[in-house]
């Protein structure tokens, strides 16, 4: 039977975790308008956020929608407000370690000590091995259209419940 965790909410909404989440959320974005606006009164903003989370009255802001034209394939991006990104980071700080234990070794995204470069080196290693065994190797690069918006949330929540018992 898999181990499940409960009573995580107080750890997630603690001021210390929210402050750490704020620092993580602004990394690499310090001079963007929404980040500067939040930073101007960040202690007060974090206290307000803490109080609304504690009272369970927090609701996410509407997502900001824009067209990403920096990649080859243009994509419509739905981005959360900076305040909501702080909440996302606070949640991830507490829950990420619970899920990372269950990942396969070759998961690389948003995992400390891994990342894009290590993933590329690992793929190159696999390609060298495959070409040594079989000669010419082909790689299929593809994208699943609208993958995240189409995830079945009931199935996803059942998966989450296997690890986290909290509502």
pLDDT for residue 13: 96
In whole angstroms, give the CA distance from residue 60 to residue 80.
Answer: 8
At how many degrees (to 10) do helices 82-100 and 33-40 cross?
Answer: 90
- DSSP of 34-102, one letter per residue? HHHHHHHTHHHHHHHHHHHHHTT---PPPPEEEEE-SSSS-EEEEE--HHHHHHHHHHHHHHHHHHHTT
In whole angstroms, give the CA distance from residue 73 to residue 165.
Answer: 39
pLDDT digits (tens, 9 = 90+) for 37-52: 999 999 999 999 999 9
E strand or H helix that includes residue 64: strand 64-68
Sorting pLDDT into bands at 50, 70 and 90, what band is 1?
low
Q: Residue 57: is its pLDDT beyond 90?
A: yes
In whole angstroms, give the CA distance from residue 103 to residue 111.
Answer: 10
pLDDT digits (tens, 9 = 90+) for 73-128: 788 888 999 999 999 999 999 999 998 888 889 998 878 889 899 999 999 999 99
pLDDT digits (tens, 9 = 90+) for 115-166: 899 999 999 999 999 999 999 999 888 878 888 888 999 999 998 999 999 8
pLDDT digits (tens, 9 = 90+) for 5-43: 889 999 999 999 999 999 999 998 888 989 999 999 999
pTM for this model (two decimals): 0.82
């Amino acid at each position: 039977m898999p181990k499940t965790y409960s009573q995580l909410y107080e750890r997630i909404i603690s001021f210390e975790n929210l402050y750490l989440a704020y620092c993580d959320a602004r990394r690499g974005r310090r001079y963007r308008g929404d980040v500067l606006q939040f930073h101007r009164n960040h202690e007060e903003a974090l206290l307000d956020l803490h109080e609304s989370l504690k009272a369970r009255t927090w609701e996410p802001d509407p997502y900001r929608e824009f067209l990403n034209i920096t990649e080859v394939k243009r994509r419509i991006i739905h981005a959360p407000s900076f305040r909501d990104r702080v909440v996302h980071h606070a949640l991830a700080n507490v829950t990420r370690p619970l899920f990372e234990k269950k990942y396969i070794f070759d998961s690389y995204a948003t995992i400390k000590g891994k990342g894009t470069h290590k993933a590329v080196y690992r793929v190159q290693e696999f390609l060298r091995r495959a070409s040594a065994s079989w000669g010419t190797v082909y790689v299929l690069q593809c994208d699943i259209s609208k993958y995240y918006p189409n995830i079945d949330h009931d199935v996803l929540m059942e998966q989450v419940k296997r690890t986290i018992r909290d509502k």
